[in-house]
Amino acid sequence: MPVSSPAAPEIGRPATAWWRRGWLRQTALLLLAMSCGVLVANNPFRPSSENPDATARGYLRFKEILSYVDRDYADSVDTEGLADYAVVQMLEKLDPHSVYIPARDREKTDSFLQSDYDGVGIEFNLFRDTMTVVAPLSGGPAEQAGVQPGDQILSLGGKRVSGARLTTARLTELLRGPRGSSVVLELRRRHQPRPLSLSIARSRIPNTSVDAAYLVDEQTGYIKVSRFASNTYDEFKAALADLRRQGLTRLVLDLRGNPGGYLDRATRLADEFIAGSRKIVYTDGKGEQYDSQTYARVAGEFEEGALVVLVDEGSASAAEVVAGALQDHDRALLVGRRTFGKGLVQQPIALSDGGELRLTIARYYTPAGRSIQKPYGANYAEYSAELTGRSARGELQSADSVHFAKALRFRTDHGRTVYGGGGIMPDIFVPRDTLAHSAYYTRLLSRGVARAFALNFYQGHKAELEGLRFEQFNATFRITDAQLVSLAAQAAQVGVNTDVAAVRRCAPLLRNLLKAFIARSAYGPVAYYTVLREQDPELQRALHAVNDSTAQLALLGK
Q: Which residues are tagged catalytic?
A: 317, 328, 342
With CA atoms as reference, report the closest residue to 307 among 532, 534, 548.
548
Going from the C-alpha of 435 to that of each of 215, 478, 542, the distances in angstroms are: 28, 20, 20
Give the list of residues 6+ apart from residue 144 with CB closer than 8 angstroms, or none.
none
Kindly give the interhelix angle for 439-446 and 481-493, rounded to the nearest 10 degrees. Answer: 70
- Torsion angle in degrees (nearest 10) through CA of 319, 321, 326, 328: 140
Nearest-angstrom CA–CA distance, 272 and 240: 10
- Phi-psi sector, 466: left (phi>0), alpha (psi -120 to 50), beta: alpha
With CA atoms as reference, report the closest residue to 344 among 401, 396, 383.
383
Determine the straight-line distance between the first and last CA of the chain, rounded to whole angstroms: 46
- Tell me the DSSP string of 409-421: EEE-TT--EEE-S
Per the DSSP assignment, residues forming a β-bridge with 172 are: none
Going from the C-alpha of 395 to that of each of 118, 339, 404, 421, 557, the distances in angstroms are: 42, 11, 12, 16, 26
Nearest-angstrom CA–CA distance, 99 and 248: 42
How distant is the alpha carbon of residue 28 from its chain centre?
9
CB atoms within 10 A of CB 296: 23
CB atoms within 10 A of CB 348: 17
With CA atoms as reference, report the closest residue to 343 among 313, 319, 365, 310.
365
Going from the C-alpha of 543 to that of each of 17, 177, 338, 366, 432, the distances in angstroms are: 18, 42, 19, 26, 17
Max intra-chain CA distance, the chain? 76
State the burial class of residue 385 (Cβ atoms within 10 Å of its Cβ: 0-12, 13-18, 19+). Answer: middle
Nearest-angstrom CA–CA distance, 361 and 347: 7
User: Element (H or E) spanning 64, and its range?
Assistant: helix 52-72
